[in-house]
């Protein structure tokens, strides 16, 4: 179920008069709007409003030809039928947004912040994408500037807020409630937020509903360059809004509360189930690398035999002078106490944290650098890469799953940085932000960012098994622990080489991979059914 689309559909039905039934006994919205107009004029006479505050007010009505017209303050009338976006029930009326507001539609002021204070500042980040209004993200206003803020510019319960600048946030609609403000401090909007305060004869939650339903269109109303777009208050002032009779506004908001609550429950359930699925996958990988996912076969050649053979062959190559011994070489061995130890040069350390003492007898243990060319990458300048070549970047890989989201060529990506070449069958490991768990098995040749390490494993390690091992919670914990750098943490080459790899017999590796893929496919079916 696409709950986002469902939410938008419900909002759309609400503002079209199709969510709740009409009641012929309801006072028409046109009478309500006339009353608001009369009250505004009286407020001008009483000095509570200035004449300029209502000089742009207009009245929208249907003519005898059933077309919509707009009457301006100077008495002129204009047909605006082409502006009316959709039909509404007869008892409803259209109006400009500024006609429905008791406060001029405008942005807040550019604030001067302080570490502490008596007043908060509502910034665009407080109007979040997924979690509604979050006053916890607000900062303190410098108390020395309080004289710049008249009482009317402090935010009030049911103020509608619209983000007026910022790529990705422009046009976002929220509604402020006093209940959001846990600190119970006065709060003012900053210059990147526009405040809409509905007239008290209207239900603010309905006005918010209309604005929220129109948010996809409002987001496109920004003016200016790509990175400097802004939503001008004048644009919002002239926005058309359809007004239902007052009782129907109540019925709409009550029904919406019921339906949105139901959708929220569905979304929470979906999120919980997705988290459960991901936790299940992690548990499957944990069992797999400990020999607890599939049964062992006594006829399989033990991995220890293969590891010994690799060690012997390596020593022979060193004797022949074909390769040099790495002074920082990491080697795993089993001590007289039957426990595993890691030797790095002349240093020896225990491996208690790896929980490898309970692996099957037919399994072996080694360092990652013993069975793959960890860190030995081929650098290629982009000028030497064909325009049609596949260029893999970190953003192309889905976290936790290793799914390649898109395949772009050099021409499409237009990247100038040095790349690592890779070929089909290599395991591509992201050393940057290892907590994102981005590990791919290359299904074709290409080039990748230098933050991705192409790994070739020798004949004793099945690449698919190696990939799942690198995605396991055990390896993930190690990589996160060893990562260096605060903003851009990454796993260093030496730490990667000495990482522990539990190695089943080759035949068992294949059985493990088949079991993982079968279980994951079933879990993915469940996850896809939620979409």
Q: Same domain, yes or no, for 330 and 408?
A: yes
Coil, helix or strand at residue 349: strand
Residue 42 lies inside a defined structural domain of this protein: no
Specify if 331 maps to a domain: yes
Per-residue pLDDT at 319: 79
Nearest to 426 by CA among 454, 445, 458: 454
Residue after which a domain boundary falls, among 196, 220, 243: 243
Q: What is the pLDDT of residues 318-368, one digit of tens each?
A: 777 766 666 666 677 676 666 777 777 667 766 666 667 788 989 988 889
Among 422, 477, 494, 479, CA closest to 455: 422
Q: Which of 501, 502, 509, 505 is CA-nearest to residue 369?
A: 501
* Residue 494, domain CATH: 3.90.220.20
pLDDT of residue 352: 63
Within this chain, do residues 208 and 329 fall inside the same structural domain, yes or no?
Answer: no
Three-class SS state of 22: coil
Whether residue 331 sits in one domain with residue 229: no
Distance CA 163, CA 240 (A): 19
Q: In what helix (H) or strand (E) does residue 71 lie, and over which residues does it extend?
A: strand 68-71
Measured between alpha carbons, how far is 416 from 384 in angstroms, rounded to an integer? Answer: 11
What is the structure's pLDDT at 510? 96
Last residue of a domain, one of 243, 273, 302: 243
Pair 328, 462 in one domain: yes
Per DSSP, the residues of 32-101 read HHHHHHHHHHHHHHTTSS-GGGTTT--EEEE-TTS-EEEE-TTS-EEE-GGG--S---TT-EEEEGGGGB
374 in Cβ contact with 500 (< 8 Å): no
How many CB atoms neighbour CB 79 within 10 A? 12
Split into its structural domains, the chain has a count of: 2
475 shares its domain with 364:
yes
In DSSP terms, which residues pair with 95 in a beta bridge?
241
59 domain-assigned: no
Give strand pairing partners of 161.
Answer: 174, 195
The answer to whether residue 214 sits within a structural domain is yes
> In this structure, is residue 431 part of a structural domain?
yes
Task: Examine the domain organization and report whether 196 and 325 are in the same domain.
Answer: no
Q: Are strands 446-449 and 390-392 parallel, antiparallel or unpaired?
A: parallel
Tell me which residue has tokens 């003492």.
357
Q: Are residues 238 and 334 in the same domain?
A: no
Considering the entire predicted model, what is its pTM?
0.68
Which pLDDT belongs to residue 248?
97
Give the C-alpha distances (Å, rounded to integers) separating 141 from 115, 138, 181, 290.
8, 9, 15, 56
Note whether residue 516 is domain-resident: no
Tokens standing for 300? 């399989």
Query: Do 327 and 436 fall within a single domain?
Result: yes
Question: Is residue 133, in this structure, part of any structural domain at all?
Answer: yes
Q: Encode 221-247: b = buried (16+ Cβ within 10 Å), e = exposed.
A: bbeeeeeebbbebebbbebbbbbbbbe
Residue that the structure tokens 């040749």 belong to: 445
State whether 235 and 327 are in the same domain. no
Q: Is the dihedral of CA 454, 456, 460, 462 positive or negative?
A: positive
pLDDT of residue 458: 83
Q: What is the pLDDT of residue 168?
A: 77
Q: Is the domain of 223 the same as that of 339?
A: no
Residue 441 belongs to a domain: yes
Extract the residue ranges of the chain whose pLDDT is less than 50: none
Range of the domain at 128: 106-243
92 with 100: CB under 8 angstroms? no
Last residue of a domain, one of 227, 243, 259: 243
Instruction: Assess whether 233 and 322 both reside in one domain.
Output: no
Closest to 32 measured CA to CA, from 241, 254, 196: 241
Residues 207, 318, single domain; the answer is no
């Amino acid at each position: 179920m696409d709950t986002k689309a469902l939410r938008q559909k419900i909002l759309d039905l609400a503002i079209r008069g199709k969510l709740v039934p009409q009641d012929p006994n309801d006072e028409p919205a046109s009478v309500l709007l006339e009353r608001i107009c009369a009250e505004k004029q009286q407020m001008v006479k009483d000095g509570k409003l200035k004449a300029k505050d209502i000089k742009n007010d207009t009245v929208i009505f249907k003519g005898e030809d059933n077309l919509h017209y707009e009457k301006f303050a100077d008495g002129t009338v204009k047909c605006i039928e082409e502006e009316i976006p959709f039909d509404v029930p007869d008892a409803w009326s259209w109006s400009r947004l500024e006609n429905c507001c008791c406060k001029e539609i405008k942005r807040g002021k550019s604030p001067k912040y302080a570490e502490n204070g008596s007043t908060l500042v509502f910034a665009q980040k407080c109007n979040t994408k997924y979690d509604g209004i979050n006053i916890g993200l607000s900062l303190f206003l410098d108390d020395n500037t309080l004289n710049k803020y008249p009482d009317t510019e402090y935010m009030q319960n049911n103020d509608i807020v619209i983000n007026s600048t910022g790529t990705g946030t422009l046009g976002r609609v929220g509604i402020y409630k006093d209940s959001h403000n846990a600190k119970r401090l006065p709060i003012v909007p900053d210059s990147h937020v526009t405040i809409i305060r509905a007239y008290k004869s209207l239900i603010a939650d309905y006005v918010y509903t209309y604005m929220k339903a129109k948010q996809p269109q409002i987001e496109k109303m920004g003016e200016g360059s790509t990175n400097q777009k802004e939503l001008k208050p004048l644009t919002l002032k002239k926005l058309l809004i359809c007004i239902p009779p007052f009782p129907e506004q109540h019925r709409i908001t009550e029904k919406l509360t019921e339906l949105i609550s139901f959708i929220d429950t569905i979304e929470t359930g979906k999120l919980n189930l997705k988290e459960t699925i991901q936790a299940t996958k992690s548990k499957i990988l944990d069992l797999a690398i400990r020999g607890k996912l599939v049964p062992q076969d006594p006829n399989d050649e033990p991995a220890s035999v293969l590891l010994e053979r690799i060690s012997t062959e390596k020593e022979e190559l060193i004797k022949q002078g074909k390769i040099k011994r790495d002074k920082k070489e990491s080697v795993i061995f089993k001590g007289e106490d039957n426990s595993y130890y890691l030797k790095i040069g002349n240093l020896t350390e225990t491996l208690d944290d790896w929980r490898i003492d309970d692996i099957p007898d037919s399994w072996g243990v080694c360092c990652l650098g013993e069975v793959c060319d960890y860190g030995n990458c081929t650098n290629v300048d982009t000028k030497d890469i064909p325009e049609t070549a596949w260029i893999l970047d970190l953003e192309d890989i889905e976290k936790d799953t290793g799914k390649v989201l898109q395949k772009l060529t050099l021409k499409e990506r237009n990247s100038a940085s040095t790349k690592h070449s890779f070929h089909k069958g290599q395991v591509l490991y992201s050393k940057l932000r290892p907590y994102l768990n981005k590990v791919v098995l290359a299904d074709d040749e290409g080039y990748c960012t230098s933050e991705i390490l192409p790994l070739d494993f020798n004949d004793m390690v099945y690449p698919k098994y190696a990939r799942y091992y690198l995605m396991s919670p055990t390896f993930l914990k190690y990589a996160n622990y060893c990562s260096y750098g605060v903003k851009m943490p990454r796993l260093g080459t030496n730490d990667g080489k000495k990482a522990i790899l539990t190695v089943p017999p080759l035949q068992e590796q294949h059985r493990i991979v088949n079991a993982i893929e079968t279980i994951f496919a079933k879990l993915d079916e469940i996850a896809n059914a939620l979409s």
